[in-house]
Chains A and B, each alone.
Chain A
């Protein structure tokens, strides 16, 4: 059961990702998916600019409204995609920076030790919540937080 937030890049996804496909592949998929959001953002920007280029208040009312709707829609879509891109990238990088074993320095060879722990009260809203992991090479345990 998912108790935490459900968007991609959350601890639940990280935990599930580690369990199902391993940390490294989870990380790579996050990067690829976030890149697709960036491309979507760029396409939205192109659409907004294209609509803006031909915008004229002297055009028929329906055309003005259509262009405005396309620009507002494109801007909203682009900003949403950009926010999603940033959130996914932040979460992926945050987890990746904390996935090097402190004992044997192996990177990303992890397995879960426990369900996601609750965040500390003074936590400054990290991209992912704490997650207990163990190095599959040397058995060293730590918390990604």
Chain B
């Protein structure tokens, strides 16, 4: 592998800031559809199923693009993939703004926007990681991971505001502008990344065998899947749970803020905890910190659903604690996966990592909903308890998994 540059080398801090800012801009269209869904449903007369279909196709775009585009970064400079993905996002958002008028067209453009995210998030991470090494790399990856949360929050707020002020088409126009800015930033400032040296045959596209044979990486992939399973299950149902909690409060002591506002405050903890967890991992050891956060978070999730009837301030505090614990291992897992991958297999590794994590993230809200329904519905405290336990159980069992793994490793 070789690394060369047409641009002057950037300091690690500048490089990290550049990549994070580009990532936030590339995600401007991320939440456009979900934020504007009520408007679009009304304007197009969409049923809930049709609305869900359009939303789901976004993830199909992501799953279609991630393994291919992230895997390609082992062959091609990550910047090129990133630029192509930004173009996809911009095209999708432009198409949505100008041409979408119903289920089929909206779904097609959502697919493109999802594919754009799939081709920018992990390739962006690789673009950054390829330029750095050691603790600096780990720290930069931590900030980059946290910037995803910032990007999604910015997208929700900006799309909501622009949509309300100027109409939904302009919110998607914002979704066009962001990726264009991100692409311009990367083109102008980002140094050239690693390129495969001549004489080293490129592996087949989507050939993830070398990455899957790396046992250290596989542990991070597994950990990330558990992390995402709990995180996305919680995120999807947090507002509904807090809304249920509000109905259980006595009339003389109602919730002082809406469930959505409280959930937004909880979400805001994410980036801070993600970066802090990574710093703790650098200080006390990555594996130890990951297991502590994962176990504590899983155990908290197993109990939090039963607390709905407690005073709302306590429930809110517990939600904050749980969310913080859950995000504590996020960046540490990703930086661990990056560090454990051989540089020439980093793209393939990140493709497997993202693909597995995303699959878990997609399943979790469904499982949560099924458990909630089967256990008595959203008016039953026990059902909420079991539903939360369904997403926390894997984290709670992490120490057992680790013990089994170590025992097997010692025996081998």
Q: Which residues of A contact B (CB under 8 A)?
A: 24, 27-28, 31-32, 35, 38-39, 42-43, 46-47, 49-51, 53-54, 67, 93, 96-97
Report the separation of the CA atoms of residues A39 and B67 in the bound assembly, to the nearest whole angstrom.
Answer: 11
The 8 A CB mask of B265-307 against A (1 = contact, 0 = none) is 0000000000000000000000000000000000000000000
Tier of interface size on chain B: 20 to 34
Residues of A within 8 A of B63 (CB): 38-39, 42
A107 — nearest CB in chain B belongs to which residue?
A: B201
Most chain B beta-carbon neighbours within 10 Å: one of A24, A38, A39: A39
Most chain A beta-carbon neighbours within 10 Å: one of B49, B204, B206, B366: B204
Q: If A27-B207, A31-B204, A46-B53 touch, does A39 touch B60 (CB 8 Å cutoff)?
A: yes
B21 at the interface (CB under 8 A from A): no
Interchain CB contact under 8 A, A53 and B207 = no
B residues 325-357 touching A (CB-CB < 8 Å): none
Interchain CB contact under 8 A, B52 and A50 = yes
Report the separation of the CA atoms of residues A43 and B49 in the bound assembly, to the nearest whole angstrom.
Answer: 14
Report the separation of the CA atoms of residues A107 and B209 in the bound assembly, to the nearest whole angstrom.
Answer: 13
Report the separation of the CA atoms of residues A28 and B50 in the bound assembly, to the nearest whole angstrom.
Answer: 35
Report the separation of the CA atoms of residues A49 and B48 in the bound assembly, to the nearest whole angstrom.
Answer: 11
- 7 nearest CB pairs, A to B: A46-B56, A54-B49, A50-B53, A28-B204, A31-B206, A50-B52, A39-B64
A33 → B minimal CB distance (Å): 10
Q: Which of these, A32, A50, A51, A97, contacts B206 with CB under 8 Å?
A: A32
**Interface residues of chain B: helix, strand, loop or mixed (majority):** helix
Interchain CB contact under 8 A, B56 and A49 = yes
Interchain CB contact under 8 A, B206 and A35 = yes
Interchain CB contact under 8 A, B49 and A53 = yes
Residues of A within 8 A of B50 (CB): 50
B68 at the interface (CB under 8 A from A): yes
Interchain CB contact under 8 A, A46 and B57 = yes
B412 → A minimal CB distance (Å): 21
A-B contact pairs, 15 of them (CB 8 A): A31-B206, A32-B68, A35-B67, A38-B63, A43-B57, A43-B60, A47-B53, A49-B52, A50-B53, A53-B48, A53-B49, A53-B52, A54-B48, A96-B209, A97-B209
Q: Which of these, A35, A43, A51, A53, contacts B68 with CB under 8 Å?
A: A35
Interchain CB contact under 8 A, B207 and A31 = yes
Residues of A within 8 A of B207 (CB): 27-28, 31, 96
Report the separation of the CA atoms of residues A39 and B64 in the bound assembly, to the nearest whole angstrom.
Answer: 6
B312 at the interface (CB under 8 A from A): no
The 8 A CB mask of B58-86 against A (1 = contact, 0 = none) is 01100110011000000000000000000
A101 → B minimal CB distance (Å): 14
Interchain CB contact under 8 A, A28 and B206 = yes
Residues of A within 8 A of B57 (CB): 43, 46
Residues of B within 8 A of A27 (CB): 204, 207
Most chain A beta-carbon neighbours within 10 Å: one of B63, B206, B209, B366: B206
Report the separation of the CA atoms of residues A43 and B56 in the bound assembly, to the nearest whole angstrom.
Answer: 8
Report the separation of the CA atoms of residues A50 and B52 in the bound assembly, to the nearest whole angstrom.
Answer: 5
Since A31-B205, A35-B67, A93-B209 are in contact, a sample of 17 more A-B pairs with Cβ atoms closer than 8 Å, ordered by chain A residue number, is A27-B207, A28-B204, A28-B205, A28-B206, A31-B207, A32-B205, A39-B64, A42-B60, A46-B53, A46-B56, A46-B60, A49-B366, A50-B49, A50-B53, A53-B48, A54-B49, A96-B209
Report the separation of the CA atoms of residues A94 and B50 in the bound assembly, to the nearest whole angstrom.
Answer: 41
Residues of B within 8 A of A32 (CB): 68, 205-206
A26 — nearest CB in chain B belongs to which residue?
A: B204
Residues of B within 8 A of A47 (CB): 53
Residues of B within 8 A of A35 (CB): 64, 67-68, 206
B105 at the interface (CB under 8 A from A): no
B3 at the interface (CB under 8 A from A): no
B236 at the interface (CB under 8 A from A): no
Residues of A within 8 A of B56 (CB): 46, 49-50
A55 — nearest CB in chain B belongs to which residue?
A: B49
Residues of A within 8 A of B204 (CB): 24, 27-28, 31
Report the separation of the CA atoms of residues A65 and B151 in the bound assembly, to the nearest whole angstrom.
Answer: 42
Residues of B within 8 A of A28 (CB): 204-207
Residues of A within 8 A of B59 (CB): 42, 46
Residues of B within 8 A of A53 (CB): 48-49, 52
A28 — nearest CB in chain B belongs to which residue?
A: B204
A11 → B minimal CB distance (Å): 19
B47 at the interface (CB under 8 A from A): yes
